[in-house]
Chain A
Amino acid sequence: MTATFVDYGAGNLRSLRAAFERAGAEVAVSDRADEIASASFVVIPGVGQAAAAMEALRERGLVDAIMAALRGGASLFGVCIGMQLLFARSEEGETAGLGLLPGSATLLAGARRLPHMGWNDVEPVAAHPLTAAFPATCYFAHSYAVQDANPRCVLASTPVEQGGFASLVGEGRIAGAQFHPERSGAAGAAFLRSVVSWAGDAA
Chain B
Amino acid sequence: MLRKRIIPCLDVSGGRVVKGVNFVNLRDCGDPVEAALRYAEQGADEIVWLNITATGEDPGVLLEAVERAAEQIDVPLTVGGGVNRVGRVRELLLAGADKVSLNTAALARPGLIEEAAARFGSQCVVCAIDARREPGGGWRAYVDGGRRVTDWDAIAWAAHAVELGAGEILMTSMDSDGVQDGYDLELVGTLCATVNVPVVASGGAGNPGHLADALEAGAEAALAASIFHDGTHTVEETKAACRARGLPMR
Contacts and interface: CB of A to CB of B under 8 A. Distances in A.
Interface in A151-203: 159-160, 180, 182-186, 188-189
A100 B236 CA distance: 42
Contacts of B70: 14-15, 18
A179 to B, nearest CB: 11
Interface in B129-176: 167-168
Contact of A137 (B3, B40, B167): B3
A19 B75 CA distance: 11
Interface string B95-116: 1111100000000000000000
Nearest to A159: B1
B93 A11 contact: yes
Interface stretch (B53-61, B117-125, B203-211): B117-125
Given A14-B96, A111-B2, 15 more contacts: A11-B90, A11-B120, A47-B121, A48-B120, A49-B119, A115-B122, A115-B197, A118-B45, A119-B2, A137-B3, A141-B76, A141-B99, A141-B124, A143-B123, A180-B98
A contact patch SS:
mixed
* Interface size band for A: 35 or more
B74 interface: yes
Nearest to A136: B250
A113 interface: yes
Contact of A117 (B72, B75, B96, B198): B198
Interface of B: 1-5, 40, 45-46, 67, 70-72, 74-77, 90, 93-99, 118-124, 167-168, 196-198, 220-221, 250
A92 B98 CA distance: 20
Contacts, number: 105
Interface in A130-154: 137, 139, 141-143
Contact of A188 (B1, B74, B90, B96): B74
Nearest to B118: A49
B71 A117 contact: no
Given A118-B221, A120-B1, A137 B76 contact: no
Interface centre among B1, B3, B76, B99, by most chain A C-beta atoms within 10 angstroms, is B76
B31 to A, nearest CB: 19
Contacts of B67: 14
Interface of A: 10-12, 14-15, 18-19, 47-49, 52, 111-121, 137, 139, 141-143, 159-160, 180, 182-186, 188-189
A137 B250 CA distance: 7
Nearest to A140: B2
16 contacts: A12-B94, A19-B74, A48-B121, A111-B2, A112-B196, A113-B196, A117-B220, A118-B46, A119-B3, A141-B98, A141-B124, A143-B123, A183-B74, A183-B75, A183-B76, A186-B74
Given A11-B94, A48-B121, A137-B250, A117 B74 contact: no
Given A19-B74, A118-B2, A119-B250, A183 B45 contact: no
A118 B3 contact: yes
Nearest to B167: A115
Contact of B5 (A111, A119, A142, A186): A119
